[in-house]
Structure 1
Amino acid sequence: MHLTLLNLTDESLVLSYANGSAVHELLALPSRPSTTMFPKKWSATLSLGGEKHIEWASVQISLSGTGRASWKPVSVPEDCLWRVYTCKVARKHYKLVVIPRRNLPSFLSSMPDDTPLSSLLLPGTHDTMAFYGWPFSQCQSIHTPLDVQFQSGIRLLDIRLTDVKGRLIAYHGAYPQKTSFQDILIAVHTFLTSPAGRSETIVMSIKQEAPSDRFSKLVHDEIAVGRGGRDMWFFESRIPNLGEVRGKVVLFSRFGNGDGWEGGLNGMGIHPTYWPDSEKTGFTWMCNDTVVRTNDWYHIPSFLSIPEKVTLALGVLEPQAADASAPVLPISYFSASSFPLAAPQTVSQGFGWPSWGLGVEGVNSRIGKWVLEQLAKGAEGGETGEGEPYIHGWTFMDYYEEPKNALVPLLVEFNFRGRKVQGDVW
């Protein structure tokens, strides 16, 4: 059995393992893969290269019975310095990937103020407040309310609202989600004024779920009287730099025509000029001088379309030759569903036992595999001069915490890879 240790931290690591009575050590330098022969079942201790007495974890990993599983997180202590993932490379070849444990509640705090939000990889939730109405109206777990999402690294909110007797209430289609817009504003303000959140920013997409002539005015007025008031918001119709919006909400308005808003459409934040329904091949629109490349193909025929859905969703995030000519913001929705064979949970999490070939691997797991491949490609390509890939964009997910709260940390890691120290990106 071959095992490759890919160390994506800034320190040398040593993996110590026993094979029978013999103890072996594998040294992994930063961003350099190291490969060795391993027993089929093994117990290993990972430590700092020059400080072997600092044993941060002793993990039991069995590579037998993994079947076709593409990757999985390794259980390590909460105070561990790193996050660890296993990936299957071939039938008898596995990879152990180690990344730094970023501070998810405040990961933007270390980014330069002049960083455009378009150059960041921001994880988000699709239909953020859809906690009820399983199987087709629910898109997020009831165990992940807004405060949990913020602490997990979620920075994009997809808020769907309906006018109910003059008050805005969260809905998914015709299904009520039991939370008022005012309560949403309280949760957002609480995070953005907390020690962890005051250097962060939240992008809030607001969409109208049911006909109402006064919807746009209600959003305007409820923001004004809500917790934090208008001072908590960024309303300009452009992509701001991070320093301009720390501790603020960036409005992403998918409603209205500007009537009743200060500055009209120019005072409604990021406002799409074009948004076709479930366009399979994606579409582009302009936000001031930024090209917004978008894929929101959500009405897939069945769960059999999951591989194609993932390919198209990821294609938006991958660098393209035309990106050098103008600022580009990729926006990708990893969410999808259709009745009766593709409920949101089925699409995002898959079903059955795909590791044994008896079931379907979900979107989230496939996205995680792709992220690990991109991170590995950057490290392994260093010797050929290819360098780390520059992946950026805004991503919206269903049931983001599956599998095992492992996907968001991987997406966040892109913000620390492939960036230039100077220029318009970092």
Structure 2
Amino acid sequence: MPPNLTIRNLTATALDLQHIERFAAEHVSRGASTLSNARGALISFLNATDFHTKELKPKGDPVSSSPALHRVEPFSTIETDVPAAEPGAEVVRLTFEADGSKYVADVPAPVGRSVTMRRVDDDGSGDDGRGGGGEFTTVYLPHVGFLAVFSSAHPGSWMSDLGDDLRLSVLSIPGTHNSPACYVALPSVRCQFAGIREQLDNGVRFLDVRVSAESGGDSMPLVHSAFPVSLAGTKYFSDLLAKCYAFLEENPGECVLMSVKREGTGRAGDRGMSRYLRDRYVASDPDRWFTGSHVPRLGEVRGRIVLVRRFRVDERVREEGGGGFGIDAEVWPDNCEDGTVGGGLVRIQDFYEIDIGRNVEKKIALSRAHLERAAALEHGATARGDGEALPLYFNFLSASNFFNATCWPERIAARVNPAIVEYLCTRHGVAGEGEKGREVGDGGTGVVITDWVGAHGDWDLIRCVVGMNSRLIVKGEGASPACAVEVDVEGEKGSEGS
């Protein structure tokens, strides 16, 4: 027997479950061509991604139809008396009412991905979930019968809903690891399925960029360690920037955090690269960049790239920048479980040396623990008495082992990403339910950085992270929290104070 359906409402709107219909399920071939399906299946096999050549859809008329009466208050969870769908054999159609409108969700969704609820009229007609009625996104976990409901932010402009006064520290920001490593490349080198613009359009706001630098040159090829990100020709930093600039022109309410690190075989050092970056790119478009050394408020950086510096900076560049050049992440702790950078301005989980059979579960646990640390932060709180912002939490879900094909980036992502989706949906932001049982503040995630999102339309992880900003929207611009959380940047726990 399937478990009873549990519903978690991660929005500011009360949801009333009013009606339930149960359908026998049928597996229907997707509309894509045979060639496309074959190609998708091959990629799925090689890269451990989940590709469906068939969709699970309701068959015929409902087997049963009954009214329901379950209210799910904002930011709350209930277990209903409704049995969840029998996996693979059944589709349950749920009708909710919210703010006077009706919405329909089928669980599970046709291909098991996050979907936007369909708004319907009393006669059952309505939009297709992509129009003006798309206020809610659902993520369903069939093995536990758990439905999480998020507010549907427009993926390309979700920051526009947030107040200018919010520090980036308290935002829930999805990111990608080795972001431009999305081209045809060695499987140990490629980290992403989707290109930079597709990532940005789907909500990613942190890009991890590695470049090689030559003495006397400023072209800066994109690399992953010593390897180029593409086997089909060199890709350059300038091309990546052009895509970011175009995105920000079209979405001026957004910002992009960009971590830049020197790797590869180029002969220039960090200080030379800092001059190239400043002279060739930042100085030529200063309005497109934020190179301050503090964690900014969102209003300071809309329409701009926020530089996170993972390299040593030339003293002349530092001095001309007023004592800094970007958020200082220069002394990066290696393979860390909870490291600090920049005097505690950044806290990092970047445990990456992994063996799929031995410690992938450790990686998942460390990722969940860092999510919980970030959840304790609260808008308006300070980490120190000098008015500095709370630290930025960088949480790398990525890991790899070059010498073990089962531990290449996409295969680790196939294990870690679904585990983190489940954690975010079921436990994140719930007091006492995290990895360490801590209390929570705003329930944010910090910057969550992952591999291989967007494969075959699977943006669930990005949708979950973005959805965690709802509490900040509720508080509104300029709102003050009921209490502040002082964070010990060296220790495990924070303390609450009024």
Would you call these one fold, judging by a TM-score over 0.5? yes
Does the CA-based 8 Å contact 2:375-2:440 persist in structure 1?
no
For 1:120, the equivalent position in structure 2 comes to 171
Residue in 2 that maps onto 1:215: 273
Q: How does 1:53-72 map to 2 (within 5 A)?
A: 54=102, 56-57=103-104, 59=106, 61=108
Counterpart among 10, 16, 19 of residue 16 in structure 1: 19
Taking the aligned partners of 2:398 and 2:167, their CA distance within structure 1 comes to 25
Contact 2:222–2:228 (Cα < 8 Å) also in 1: yes
1:87 match = 141
Please list the CA deviations of residues 351-409 of structure 1 after superposition, one character each: whole Å capped at 9, or x if unmatched: xxxxxxxxxxx11111101101235837999xxxx787522411211112258111101
CA RMSD in angstroms comes to 3.4
CA distance in structure 2 between the partners assigned to 1:406 and 1:373 by the alignment:
14
Greater fraction of residues in strand: 1
Q: Pick from 82, 91, 97: which aligns with 1:37?
A: 82
Q: Distance in 1 between matches of 2:471 and 2:376?
A: 21
Q: Within 2, Cα distance between the matches of 1:415 and 1:295? A: 21
Counting only pairs closer than 5 Å after superposition, residues 112-261 of structure 1 correspond to structure 2 as 112-132=163-183, 133-141=185-193, 144-163=194-213, 166=217, 167-177=219-229, 178-194=234-250, 197-210=251-264, 211-213=267-269, 214-224=272-282, 229-261=285-317
Contact 1:335/1:347 (CA < 8 Å) preserved in 2? yes
User: How many angstroms does 1:164 deviate by?
Assistant: 5.2
Structure 1 Cα separation of the partners of residues 94 and 450 of structure 2: 34
The whole-number CA distance in structure 2 between the counterparts of 1:277 and 1:21 is 57
Name the CA shift for 1:336/1:11 in 2 (closer, same or farther; >3 Å).
same
Deviation at 1:14, TM superposition (A): 2.6
CA pair 22-309 structure 1, distance change in 2 beyond 3 A: closer
Deviations 1:128-149 (A, max 9, x none): 11124231000001xx222111
Matching residue's letter, 1:104: P
Report percent identity of matched pairs.
26
The residue matched to 2:158 in structure 1 has which SS? helix
**C-alpha distance in 2 between matches for 1:406 and 1:320:** 20
Output the CA distance in 1 between the equivalents of 2:143 and 2:463: 21
Gaps of 5+ in 1: 350-361
Contact 1:162 1:169 (8 Å CA) reproduced: yes
Which one of 400, 410, 430 corresponds to residue 377 of structure 1?
430
Secondary structure at 1:163 match in 2: coil
Q: Any idea what the Cα deviations from partners look like across 1:7-46, whole Å, max 9, x if unmatched?
A: 3341433352246555232433333525013374343142
Cα offsets for 1:79-124 (capped at 9, x unmatched): 243211223575xxx2222222111211111211111111111111
* TM-score, with length taken from structure 2: 0.70
Report the residue type matching 2:298 in the other structure. L
Unmatched segments (≥5 aa) in structure 2: 23-62, 118-127, 385-389, 486-498
Give the secondary-structure state (helix, strand or coil) at the position aligned to 1:14.
Answer: strand
Correspondence for 1:268:
325
